[in-house]
């Protein structure tokens, strides 16, 4: 919402407040000023590195060099057909000014003007925007010769003065512009661009902002006088009210008050369609709207002024539609109703709209006239020939307007306001204001009275606020009188009774609820007007809640720490993917699918965390070495119910095991055992035991993407918790990976987390251990796990450590055989002798010979 | 004879002066102090000398021997230190060559920031509460006082999940962690419905908004919310608690500014600006010269939300606030493209 300061000043005295002061007050009170655009007023000067509070743009006008001047004659240029020479008076002296402005060109050579034209005159040395440049480029007026005629000054367009983009012609002021007055004093302005949050919809207008400022500063709000027939504010002329009353000409039928709580209509005759006064056009442009004609501008101006969108119908079209051009035998009947599905209306943008029952229509007896609150129909639109206006001011159900504006992609200033709710009381004020402005700008005659059908009045709740409530919820001590004073500034009608205030909601806002909600609504207003900055900072006095912790979160954070210690980089992926992307790794029939995805490749929620992780590996494939993990949810569909969100851990490793350096050239690639080593450390870090590694079951999900011979399933006490191994060569092919194998792991964290941890440590003996190596030759079919198990079983408590340090195959050992070499550590409760160790060793070797046919290797 | 001894001493000391390494030192020792050296020959010939001559020559020889030995020792020290100096010089490394790398694991920057936030909140007595990412409209919106078709819904563009027959309660991706407020309040109030216990929790997690992915907007982002519910919780407490939090989070001298704002699930609501932690409030590119950074939204828990959570708004009150760890990181590290976070380029991640 763009608010020109000059407009605000119509309703509140802002003396002594800078534009920044005003912007700051509004911003702190919840009307955030996003930008201040200067169009003439003095700008604060910021030096480099100096703090400025607001984003600022625009220019200030030089008070000496830019003045109101009058053009007395438009003469031909001796050497250029398209240019003219102006005989201009700047209040002090006459000037000759060169211009190519098309909007005074027709006066060329007509001699001395009967009525001089008022224009914005820039003297030599003025800095303003270059009207011919793309965008906003500053330039300074210099003395020069154009086609043999000296030029040192100019008459300006709006673009040159930073008012708007308009550069079609020069500004032509209203007749009452005072010649010689500094332009900055005449119409210097600044525009506040304010974000309107949903519960501030009432303030999407100049009076709303002025009312807030009045409340925040304690100043008086000056309201426009809006009674028809009274003296109008600016011109002081009386806008004539006469002729037949509108109530004799028009009647209104509201079929559903829920959709249309109020409909007010007024009528104005004998209007002349022409441009609005210049100062009105300028205000509209500064407020971000395009001036069209005095009538359309009046509806827009009234909307920006008090917040009520209006719609002007060409009354004569309505009359002709019902076939009663003369001698109306009965009234024109305006009917509001929900549209029928499939019903059509051509809106004033020329588009034929196919409507649904969500849309609301303003109709007459022959059919639809306008899409209520969103856009008028083409047929009854105001044209240059329009002589009589039927002006609508209505209240509409904000939900229907929201749906309609969205459905037909018609965001507008009107639908913005209606879709956030406009109080029905504003309908009457809006029509009065609109008619008044139309009369003022078009010379029309306002018909007496208004047609006003108001079947559904809003509650305007009365809320009781006590000093205790204020203390309990805001933490400040205010007297009832103080509370009432703050609320009265926002036009609540307050009654003080001892320690409580009964505050009646003023009839321009719909954001105050009832009961506990209303209390919160009103307390927010108390806090806002009192000033958030004046509320003290205190520490909570309430007791601490029961401490319950979050074991799952804590456990996962612990797992993350271990994985990081193991040299793995954590990543976080998009939850959204596509079945195609995941199917490179694994295929699922069903997904949690989005109804409104941003793109086909992000249309479902992931089911495989590993698939996401591999995409990250792929993106980083050129890195020398990659070790990554992610912990997160996957999404298992559950028909039309909420999905399951099991937690997963995925790990991927590929590339060099050791970082190369200038003197470390060769490094082997990560393989199965690098991953296994890390998993062993992870699981022991999580204090899990009873772990076994078995070849992957070909029926398991992971068997589909793992190398059948280089993969394993991880079980804890027989229960599968995950699988890992080298990516199957055929799966690897589908990715853009480098040559080295890609080793992956995926764990079901919920199962892992629910495994019972075991605590306790192995004692550290103070007696020296006996260390010994043994190597045994066994058949290939005998697993290392089996041999190690037998050694541990036989050695019992004495053998405290068994470490496989070599696996060796050779012809001398024999085909189908391998040698497994172990370091054994013998340890007892006293210093152990070699002989004692040898005795155990003999037992171990015998056991191995007996059970797996092992032979001791020389 | 004594002249001869003087001669021996003089020539030995002279030749010692040219000795520079340990081998030469040894050969000098052999030739000047060894068994067949001239000096030793003098000692050996002492017996043949007359009784008168013997004491003088004997003591003279001894003097020369001591002199040579001490000269040798001195020289030896010199030679050794020269050799050490030489070897130290020869062994010198090029200290400008790069150090050897180590594969290091790191947490994703978002996790690091989430942890930072949550550890401060833990110190302040807040416990972590996590809840699901796919939610119902009821929990994400309705129970949080966003009625269907309410304009406030425009503030949070939503991803909906395909599901049939759900009427006014579609499935969606949570747009904020606030559904957890309802889950938590209902869990706590179920413990003792007549006297629900106070709540002080932090709600971290991934949230989703229907946006185009650009340098400035993302479809997913982390959020951390704080929620306090209890008796006697005031707006002044909200201000004090957030001021405390800001000092822990952004620096001991960080100041905060509360601006009125609107969120459907809090009232009164506020946006909180923290004095720019990059420039200390003087004005810089990060704060766009304003000296303030918009860092969190907050407010008193709306009575409808309290009611929906099982807490009577006439007796209980509370406050909540929410903030984005990615936004904090972007401001702190001057990251100008939000897509880095889920892009997972190692060259980005390795900088944290
Ligand atoms: Zn800064």
Half-sphere exposure of A847 (CA within 13 A, CB side): 17
Reading the block at residue A763, the tokens are 């004692």
A242 pLDDT more than 80 = no
A493, pLDDT greater than 90: yes
**Is A619–B240 a contact, with Cβ atoms under 8 angstroms apart?**
no
Determine the Cα–Cα distance for residues A372 and A399; give it in Å rounded to an integer: 12
Residues in chain A within 8 Å Cβ distance of B345: 619-620
Q: How far is A686 from chain B (nearest CA, A)?
A: 18
B130 in contact with chain A, both atoms CB, cutoff 8 A: yes
Let me know: does B319 contact B233? Beta carbons within 8 Å: yes
Specify whether the CB–CB gap between A596 and B219 falls below 8 A. Answer: no
Closest CA to B128 of A345, A556, A90: A556
Quick one: pLDDT band at residue A96, thresholds 50, 70, 90? very high
Q: How confident is the model at residue A659 (pLDDT cuts 50, 70, 90)?
A: confident
Of chain A, the percentage scoring pLDDT greater than 70 comes to: 97
Question: Is the CB of residue B286 less than 8 Å away from at least one CB of chain A?
Answer: no
Alpha-carbon span A482 to A488, nearest angstrom: 10
Which of these ranges, A328-337, A354-363, A380-389, B28-37, has the smallest mean pLDDT? A328-337
pLDDT digits (tens, 9 = 90+) for A406-448: 999 998 899 999 999 999 999 999 999 999 999 999 999 999 9
Task: Look at residue B202 in the predicted model and tell me its pLDDT.
Answer: 97
Three-class secondary structure assignment of chain B: CHHHHHHHHHHHHHHHCCCCCHHHHHHHHHHHHCCCCHHHHHHHHHHHCCCCHHHHHHHHHHHHHHHHHHHHHHHHHHHHHHHHHHHHHHCCCCCCCCCCCCCCCCCCHHHHHHHHHHHHHHHCCCEECCCCCEEEHHHHCHHHCCCCCCHHHHHCCCCEECCCCCCCCCEEECCCCCHHHHHHHHHHHHHCCCCCCCEEEEEEEEEECCCCCCCCCCCEEEEEEEEEEECCCCHHHHHHHHHHHHHHHHCCCCCEEEEEEEECCEEEEEEEEEECCCCCCCCCCCCCCCCEEEEEEEEEECHHHHHHCCCCCCCCEEEEEEECHHHHHHHHHCCCCCCHHHHCCHHHHCCC
Report the candidate in B284, B281, B262 with the shortest Cα–Cα distance to residue B271.
B262
Does residue B41 surpass a pLDDT of 70?
yes
Identify which of A30, A475, A552 has the shortest CB distance to residue B260.
Answer: A30
CATH number, span A2-60+190-217: 3.30.56.10
Kindly compute the dihedral angle of the four CA atoms of residues A89, A90, A96, A100, in this order, to the nearest 10 degrees.
Answer: -100
Q: What is the pLDDT of residue A230?
A: 41
Q: Do domains A2-60+190-217 and A462-532 have the same CATH topology?
A: yes
CB contact under 8 A, B235 and A474: yes
- Give the ipTM of the model, two decimals please: 0.89
Residue B281 or B195, more confident: B195
What is the pLDDT at residue A39? Answer: 95
pLDDT tops 80 at residue A777: yes
Chain B CB contacts of A213 below 8 Å: none
Q: For A294, phi and psi rounded to 5 degrees? A: -55, -35
Q: Is the pLDDT of residue A229 over 50?
A: no
Q: What is the tens place of the pLDDT at every residue in A558-575?
A: 999 999 999 999 999 999
Give residue B58's pLDDT band: very low, low, confident or very high (50, 70, 90).
confident
Distance CA A808, CA A817 (A): 9
Task: Using a CB–CB cutoff of 8 Å, tell me whether A30 touches chain B.
Answer: yes
Q: Is the dihedral of CA A160, A163, A166, A169 positive or negative?
A: negative
Q: Any residues with CB less than 8 A from the CB of A841 and at least 6 apart, and which?
A: A772, A774, A824
| Residue A749, preceding peptide bond in cis (omega within 30° of 0) | no
Options 1.10.220.150, 2.40.50.140, 3.40.630.10, 1.10.460.10; CATH of A66-187 = 2.40.50.140
More confident residue, A242 or A565: A565
Measured from the Cβ of residue A658, the count of other Cβ atoms closer than 10 Å reads: 15
- CA A2 – ligand 1 centroid, Å: 27
Burial class, B166, CB count within 10 angstroms (exposed 0-12 / middle 13-18 / buried 19+): middle
Return d(Cα A668, Cα B153) in angstroms, integer. Answer: 55
Nearest CA-CA distance, residue A324 and chain B, Å: 42
Contact A574 B125 (CB under 8 A): no
Q: Which CATH architecture has domain A551-754?
A: 2-Layer Sandwich (3.30)
Across chain A, mean pLDDT equals: 92
Flag whether pLDDT at A815 surpasses 50: yes
Please tell me the CATH code under which domain A770-856 is placed. 3.30.70.380
Mean pLDDT of A218-222: 94
Can you give the residue ranges of every domain in chain A?
A: 2-60+190-217, 66-187, 246-453, 462-532, 551-754, 770-856
Over residues A836-843, the mean pLDDT reads 89
Which residue is closest to B149 within chain A, CA to CA?
Answer: A399
Spell out which residues of chain B touch residue A571, defining contact as CB-CB under 8 Å. Answer: 108, 344, 349
Tokens matching residue A265? 């209509």
Q: DSSP 3-state assignment of A767?
A: coil
Domain A246-453 has CATH 3.50.40.10: yes
- The pLDDT tens digits of the residues spanning B82-126 come to 889 988 988 888 889 888 888 899 999 999 999 999 999 999 999
Q: What is the pLDDT of residues B138-162, one digit of tens each?
A: 999 999 999 888 878 877 899 999 9
Q: Around A21, how many Cα atoms within 13 Å sit in the side-chain half-sphere?
A: 8
Contacts of B204 (CB under 8 A, 6+ apart): B114, B117, B118, B128, B130, B177, B222, B223, B224
A-chain CB neighbours of B133 within 8 Å are 575, 633, 635, 645
Q: Tell me how close the Cα of A199 comes to any Cα of chain B, in angstroms.
A: 7
pLDDT tens for A494-533 read 999 999 999 999 999 999 999 999 999 999 999 999 999 9
What confidence score (pLDDT) does residue A13 get?
Answer: 96
- Helix H segments across A620-671? none
Residue B331 Cα to ligand 1 midpoint, Å, equals 9
Three-state DSSP class for residue A854: coil
Lowest mean pLDDT among A557-561, A653-657, B14-18: B14-18
Please tell me whether residue A486 adopts helix, strand or coil conformation: helix
Chain-chain contact of B258 with A533 (C-beta, under 8 angstroms): yes
Residue A107 at interface with chain B, using a CB cutoff of 8 Å: no
Hey, what CATH topology would domain A462-532 get?
Answer: Phenylalanyl-tRNA Synthetase; Chain B, domain 1 (3.30.56)
- Chain A CB contacts of B151 under 8 Å are 198, 201, 398, 402, 419-421
Phi then psi for A504, rounded to 5 degrees? -95, 130
Q: What does the alpha-carbon distance between residue A504 and residue B351 come to, in Å, rounded to a whole number? A: 58
Cα torsion at B209, B210, B213, B218 (round to 10°)? 0
Structure tokens at B53: 């001559």
Q: Which of B197, B244, B346 sits opposite A623 (nearest CB)?
A: B346
Predicted pLDDT at A235: 42
Percent of chain A past pLDDT 90, that is, above it, reads 79
List the one residue out of A675, A671, A705, A670 whose CA is nearest residue A693. Answer: A675
| Residue A773 distance to chain B (closest CA, Å) | 32
The token duo for A39 is 């169009």
> Cβ contact (<8 Å) for B243 and A597?
no
């Amino acid at each position: 919402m763009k608010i020109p300061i000059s407009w605000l000043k119509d309703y509140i005295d802002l003396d002594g407040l800078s534009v920044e002061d005003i912007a700051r007050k509004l911003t702190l009170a919840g009307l955030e000023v996003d930008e201040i655009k200067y169009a003439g007023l003095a700008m604060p000067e910021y030096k480099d590195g100096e703090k400025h509070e607001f984003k600022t743009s625009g220019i200030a006008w030089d008070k000496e060099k830019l003045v109101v001047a009058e053009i007395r004659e438009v003469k031909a240029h001796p050497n250029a057909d398209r240019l003219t020479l102006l005989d201009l008076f700047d209040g002090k002296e006459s000037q000759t000014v060169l211009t190519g402005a098309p909007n005074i060109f027709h006066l060329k050579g007509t001699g001395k003007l009967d009525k001089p034209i008022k224009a914005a005159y820039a003297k030599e040395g003025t800095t303003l925007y270059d009207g011919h440049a793309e965008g906003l480029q500053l330039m300074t007026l210099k003395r020069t010769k154009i086609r043999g005629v000296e030029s040192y000054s100019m008459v300006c367009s709006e673009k040159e003065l930073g008012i708007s983009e308009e550069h079609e012609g020069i500004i032509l002021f209203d007749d009452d512009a005072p010649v010689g007055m500094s332009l900055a004093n005449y119409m210097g302005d600044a525009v506040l661009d304010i974000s309107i949050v949903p519960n501030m919809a009432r303030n999407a207008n100049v009076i709303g902002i002025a009312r807030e400022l009045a409340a925040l500063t304690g100043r008086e709000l000056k309201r426009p006088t809006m009674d028809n027939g009274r003296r109008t504010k600016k011109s002081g002329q009386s806008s004539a009210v006469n002729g037949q009353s509108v109530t004799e000409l028009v009647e209104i039928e509201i079929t559903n008050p829920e959709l249309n709580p109020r409909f007010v209509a007024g009528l104005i005759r004998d209007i002349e369609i022409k441009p609005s006064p210049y100062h009105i056009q300028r205000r509209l442009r500064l407020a971000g709207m395009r001036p069209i004609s005095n009538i359309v501008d009046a509806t827009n101006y009234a909307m920006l002024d008090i917040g009520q969108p209006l719609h002007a119908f060409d009354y004569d079209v309505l009359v002709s539609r019902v076939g009663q051009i003369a001698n109306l035998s009965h009234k024109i009947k305006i009917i509001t109703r929900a549209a029928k599905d499939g019903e059509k209306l051509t809106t004033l943008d020329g588009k034929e709209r196919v409507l649904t029952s969500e849309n609301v229509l303003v109709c007459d007896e022959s059919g639809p006239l306008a899409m209520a609150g969103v856009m008028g129909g083409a047929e009854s639109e105001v044209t240059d020939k329009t002589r009589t206006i039927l002006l609508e001011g209505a209240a509409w159900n904000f939900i229907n307007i929201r749906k309609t504006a969205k459905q037909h992609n018609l965001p507008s200033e009107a639908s913005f306001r209606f879709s956030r709710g406009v109080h029905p009381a504003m309908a009457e004020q809006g029509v009065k204001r609109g008619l008044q402005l139309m009369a003022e700008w078009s010379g029309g005659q306002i018909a007496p009275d208004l047609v006003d059908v108001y079947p559904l009045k809003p509650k305007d709740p009365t809320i009781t606020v006590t000093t205790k409530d204020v203390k309990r919820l805001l933490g400040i001590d205010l007297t009832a009188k103080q509370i009432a004073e703050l609320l009265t500034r926002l036009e609540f009608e307050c009654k003080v009774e001892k320690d409580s205030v009964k505050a009646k909601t003023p009839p321009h806002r719909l954001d105050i609820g009832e009961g506990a909600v209303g209390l919160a609504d009103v307390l927010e207003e108390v806090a806002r007007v009192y000033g958030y900055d004046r509320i003290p900072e205190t520490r909570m006095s309430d007791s601490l809640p029961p401490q319950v912790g979050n074991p799952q979160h804590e456990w996962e954070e612990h797992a993350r720490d271990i994985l990081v210690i193991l040299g793995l980089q954590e990543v976080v992926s998009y939850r959204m993917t596509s079945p195609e992307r995941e199917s490179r790794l694994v295929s699922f029939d069903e997904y949690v699918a989005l109804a409104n995805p941003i793109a086909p490749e992000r249309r479902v929620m992931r089911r495989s965390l590993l698939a996401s992780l591999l995409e990250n590996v792929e993106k980083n494939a050129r890195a020398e070495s990659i070790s990554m993990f992610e912990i997160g949810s996957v999404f298992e569909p559950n028909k039309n119910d909420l999905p399951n969100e099991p937690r997963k851990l995925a790990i991927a490793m590929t590339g060099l095991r050791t970082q190369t350096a200038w003197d470390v050239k060769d490094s082997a690639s990560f393989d199965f055992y690098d991953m296994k080593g890390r998993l062993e450390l992870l699981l022991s870090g999580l204090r899990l035991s009873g772990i076994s590694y078995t070849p992957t079951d070909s029926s398991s999900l992971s068997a589909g993407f793992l190398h059948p011979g280089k993969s394993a399933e991880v079980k804890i006490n027989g229960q599968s918790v995950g699988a890992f191994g080298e990516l199957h060569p055929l799966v690897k092919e589908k990715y853009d990976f480098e040559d080295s194998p890609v080793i992956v792991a995926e764990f079901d964290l919920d199962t892992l987390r629910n495994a019972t941890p075991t605590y306790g440590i192995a004692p550290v003996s103070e007696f020296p251990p006996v260390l010994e190596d043994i190597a045994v030759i066994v058949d290939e079919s005998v697993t290392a796990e089996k041999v190690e198990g037998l050694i541990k079983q036989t050695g019992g408590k004495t053998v405290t450590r068994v470490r496989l340090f070599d696996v060796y195959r050779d012809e001398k050992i024999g085909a189908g055989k391998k040698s497994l070499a172990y370091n054994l550590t013998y340890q007892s409760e006293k210093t152990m002798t070699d002989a004692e160790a040898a005795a155990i060793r003999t037992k171990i070797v015998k056991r191995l010979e007996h059970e797996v046919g092992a032979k001791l290797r020389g | 004879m004594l002249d001869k001894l003087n001669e021996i001493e003089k020539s030995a000391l002279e030749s010692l002066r040219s000795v520079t390494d340990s081998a030469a030192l040894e050969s000098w020792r052999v030739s000047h102090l060894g068994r067949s050296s001239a000096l030793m020959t003098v000692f050996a010939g002492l017996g043949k000398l007359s009784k008168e001559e013997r004491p003088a020559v004997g003591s003279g020889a001894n003097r020369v021997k001591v002199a040579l030995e001490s000269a040798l020792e001195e020289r030896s020290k010199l030679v050794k230190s020269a050799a050490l100096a030489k070897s130290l010089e020869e062994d010198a490394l090029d200290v400008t060559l790069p150090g050897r790398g180590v594969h290091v694991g790191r947490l994703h920057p978002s996790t690091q920031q989430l942890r930072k936030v949550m550890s401060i909140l833990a110190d302040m007595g807040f416990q972590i509460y996590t809840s699901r990412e796919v939610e119902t409209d009821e929990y994400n919106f309705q129970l949080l006082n966003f009625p269907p078709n309410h304009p406030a819904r425009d503030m949070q563009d939503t991803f909906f999940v395909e599901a049939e027959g759900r009427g006014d309660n579609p499935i969606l991706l949570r747009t904020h962690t606030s559904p957890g407020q309802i889950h938590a309040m209902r869990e706590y109030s179920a413990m003792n419905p007549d006297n629900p216990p106070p709540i002080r929790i932090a709600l971290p997690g991934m949230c989703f908004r229907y946006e185009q992915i650009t340098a400035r907007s993302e479809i997913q982002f982390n959020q951390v919310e704080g929620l306090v519910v209890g008796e006697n919780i005031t707006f002044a407490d909200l201000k004090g608690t957030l001021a405390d939090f800001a000092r822990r989070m952004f620096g001991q001298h960080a100041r905060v500014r509360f601006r009125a704002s609107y969120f459907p699930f809090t009232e009164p609501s506020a946006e909180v600006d923290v004095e720019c932690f990059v420039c200390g409030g003087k004005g810089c590119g990060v704060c766009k010269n304003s000296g303030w950074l918009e860092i969190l939204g907050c407010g008193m828990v709306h009575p409808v939300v309290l009611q929906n959570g099982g807490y009577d708004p006439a007796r209980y009150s509370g406050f909540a606030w929410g903030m984005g760890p990615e936004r904090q990181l972007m401001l702190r590290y001057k990251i100008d493209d939000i897509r880095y976070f889920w892009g997972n380029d190692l060259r980005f991640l390795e900088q944290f």
